[in-house]
Amino acid sequence: MNRRIFSLSVLLIGLCLWCYEASIRADEHVRGGHVNVYPVEGVINPVIVEFVADSIEQSTDESAAAVVFQLDTPGGLVSSTRLIVKSLLNADVPVIVYVSPSGARAASAGTFITMAGHVAAMAPGTNIGAAHPVSGEGKDIEGDMRKKAENDLAAFARSIADKRGRNADWAEEAVRESVSITETDALEQKVIDIVAEDVPDLLAQIDGRNVSVAGDEVTLNTARAEVRYRQMTWRQQVLAVVTHPQIALMLLSIGSLGLLIELYNPGLIFPGVIGAISVLLAFYSLQTLPVNYAGLALIGLSFILFILESQIPSFGMLTVGG
């Protein structure tokens, strides 16, 4: 009798463990917990690239239910846009790109970024499109380069739309014809998935939706998820100001002028120091130098200035520059 009870107990325990394991396997691709919300505002530049990549990595490490990027941008650098899209397409956490609040836009580069999310959403009173390529100064590209840049970005837009199952014809038209549409038209034309009033409404609408993340089907569990609003670090905020296109061009002009003054008037020191620092910051702003190389170059420059201070009387200007 005791042997039978023991055997039956072992059988029941084994059955319970099997059921528990089966339930874990069934739910292993259902994410829950919390949702991280990050603002992406202003011109798309190297700082935004870093911020988006860090945000995705942080959310992945935290096993977040999803990451939401609240987007409001007039556009930006193509090179930065491509890096952001690459991060979104290869993210290991569900990514929702939400053009908000009302009055925001996903213009130019924002069009590619919005379409690259696992879920694309817009708030009422927003618009998306106008993705035709222009020069770094905001002017039309002339000659053969215009056609080359247009064809390249049109193919880029189509590939993103095809990857996410969105309207590839409209995506190409946004590049070639620079068309722009409202959130209502975007939903009707299958450019986006959802129109949501705010973040809570967005999370309620996407709850239970299946998305493909890193090759796996993931069911979003966001209706009751805790919402955590995150911001850029102070360093990223400072760099975001420096990397604004107008500031970048101003730094390049100041740097070039400072170096020329130093070359024509050796020994002034101050123009040369300011010129060298400004040029390096401008190169970073224009993404000629990645942030790591720009930082390394600035550190190297500071050491050179400190050494020169011990050899050349500059009344402290070299030290201040360093």
108 is catalytic: yes
- Which pLDDT score is estimated for 197? 97
Full DSSP string of 3-25: HHHHHHHHHHHHHHHHHHHHHHH
Q: Select which of 7, 9, 63, 148 is catalytic.
A: 148
Q: Select which of 108, 180, 285, 314 is catalytic.
A: 108
Cα distance between residue 174 and residue 168, in whole Å: 10
- Which pLDDT score is estimated for 292? 52
- CA quadruple 204, 119, 86, 296: dihedral sign: negative
CB 223 within 8 A of CB 245: no
List per-block mean pLDDT (blocks of 10 residues) for the chain, which spans 322 residues.
Answer: 46 47 42 87 91 96 96 93 97 97 96 98 97 72 80 96 97 96 97 97 96 94 94 87 77 80 75 79 66 53 54 51 46
Kindly provide the b/e burial profile for residues 13-33, where b requires at least 16 CB atoms within 10 angstroms of the residue's own CB: eeeeeeeeeeeeeeeeeebbe
- Which pLDDT score is estimated for 247? 80
Q: Which residue has the tokens 């040029």?
A: 279
Q: Are strands 210-213 and 34-41 parallel, antiparallel or unpaired?
A: unpaired
- Which pLDDT score is estimated for 145? 79
3-state SS of 152-166? HHHHHHHHHHHHHCC
Cα distance between residue 113 and residue 116, in whole Å: 5
- Which pLDDT score is estimated for 263? 73
Tokens encoding 1: 């009798």
CA-nearest of 244, 126, 131, 230 to 186 is: 126
pTM: 0.75
**Integer angstrom CA distances of residue 59 from 53, 165, 167, 181:** 10, 24, 28, 31
Cα distance between residue 202 and residue 198, in whole Å: 6
